[in-house]
Amino acid sequence: MDRTDNEETTPTLGVGMVGYAFMGAAHSQGWRTAGRVFDLPLRPVMSAVCGRDPAAVRAAAGRLGWAAAETDWRALIARDDVQLVDICTPGDSHAEIAIAALEAGKHVLCEKPLANTVAEAEAMNAAAVRARARGQLAMVGFNYRRTPAIALARQMIEAGRIGVLRHVRVTYLQDWIVDPEFPLVWRLQKEYAGSGALGDLGAHIVDLAQYLAGERIVGVSAITETFVRERPLPAGAAAGLSAAANGRAARGRVTVDDAALFTGRLESGALAAFEVSRVAAGRKNALTIELNGDRGSLSFDLERLNELSFHDHTEPAAAAGFRRILVTEPEHPYLEAWWPPGHGLGYEHTFIHQARDLVHAIAAGADPAPSFADGLQVQRVLAAVEESAAHDSVYTKLPASASADGTGPVPASAPVSQ
């Protein structure tokens, strides 16, 4: 049976997406492509995209491949041809949209961080638990888990290749707001974004650290800083914020962090170190993670995303050292459907793999990973970092519980390649 025949007989999964900017474009790439690369049990159909500006959302629908456009997310949720709602909006709207979608009987994919506050994340997770009993699934979009090299690292750690974990160190550095004249966009305002580099970048690396280690962070000690405290208002922004006396353009107050540093302790006693910044000049999307155990180490650099570095400490010292694994073999996670060995993948493929995994989970009625419970655990770590930083880096413990409501250990992911 060729792919055309498969498309005619495969049940469909209608997707509706809220938001169409950077993340919306990335998610659209995933939905457009997943069923054309992988043999999926359900065929994603891009039913409708939603945004507030009628002309802009219609243009986005045509550009990104959506069949229809809506200007009210409630109308999108109500559509009969939408079975899954994909949320790509700023964090301040995540909880309202996700809870409404779940209560309407839809599956949900929500971008990270799950919410702006722990209370919102708890409400979202509670809604997901209720929806699960009715057959609806909810997943949070930590796309870097779907990098083949990261998925391979998880497999190697689970297989005991680095032994007992002792250290995790992670950095995520960007430079897009180094210029003090960069405008006061929504990501720099707490009421929309929740936090700055901490939530935007820190959410990713907290999730990766817990995912690869297979255990929770149980306490942190942190400092944060906002280096540029006022910025020009974007063109067309409402007047009424502060205007400089010397005639400069009106400026508004930055209410989130530019950078955060924190240390953490994992459940096993392993130590972790984290650094995030959006003002690290010269760093564009520099995410690195290294894990050290008593039998070896693994290291990953997103700017070399088709590679994984591995040191086997059980080998004789005379010949031992870090070696480069080129993660492009068909035996590696996700790569059975892609190109011949040596032909690397890119950033956009993580969203294709994300769509693939969620479709498989929905078809099987299996719990997707990362779940809203995983997103809630990340939110608790971020809140603990803010609490510690507000109290001069005092060590802040996270709530201790082994329940299944998002406070317990990070659950193992579903298989990354089928």
pLDDT mean over 293-307: 98
Whether residue 267 is predicted with pLDDT greater than 80 in this model: the reply is yes
Whole-number Å distance between alpha carbons of 69 and 48: 5
Q: What is the pLDDT, as a whole number, of residue 405?
A: 57
Whether residue 180 is predicted with pLDDT greater than 90 in this model: the reply is yes
* Superfamily of domain covering 145-346+371-397: Dihydrodipicolinate Reductase; domain 2 (3.30.360.10)
**Which of 93-107, 164-178, 326-340, 392-406 shows the lowest per-residue confidence on average (mean pLDDT)?**
392-406
Domain ranges in the chain are 3-144, 145-346+371-397
Whether residue 239 is predicted with pLDDT greater than 70 in this model: the reply is no
Q: What is the pLDDT, as a whole number, of residue 94?
A: 98
Mean pLDDT of the chain: 92
Q: What is the pLDDT, as a whole number, of residue 248?
A: 60
Q: How confident is the model at residue 352 (pLDDT cuts 50, 70, 90)?
A: very high
- Cis before 370 (ω within 30): yes
Q: What is the pLDDT, as a whole number, of residue 406?
A: 54
pLDDT mean over 30-55: 98
Q: What is the pLDDT, as a whole number, of residue 417?
A: 36
Q: What is the pLDDT, as a whole number, of residue 325?
A: 98
H/E element, 53: none
Q: What is the pLDDT, as a whole number, of residue 229?
A: 96
pLDDT mean over 342-351: 97
Whether residue 214 is predicted with pLDDT greater than 60 in this model: the reply is yes
**Which of 293-302, 353-362, 404-413 shows the lowest per-residue confidence on average (mean pLDDT)?**
404-413
Say if residues 208 and 274 touch (Cβ distance below 8 Å): no
Alpha helices in 165-305 (DSSP H): 190-193, 197, 203-213
Q: How confident is the model at residue 379 (pLDDT cuts 50, 70, 90)?
A: very high
Whether residue 243 is predicted with pLDDT greater than 90 in this model: the reply is no
pLDDT mean over 111-132: 98
Structural fold of domain 3-144: Rossmann fold (3.40.50)
Backbone phi, then psi, for 413, in 5-degree steps? -70, 155
Backbone phi, then psi, for 334, in 5-degree steps? 75, -15
pTM for the whole thing?
0.91
Say if residues 51 and 28 touch (Cβ distance below 8 Å): no
Q: How confident is the model at residue 209 (pLDDT cuts 50, 70, 90)?
A: very high
Strands (E), 206-270: 217-225, 230-232, 251-253, 259-266
Whether residue 409 is predicted with pLDDT greater than 50 in this model: the reply is no
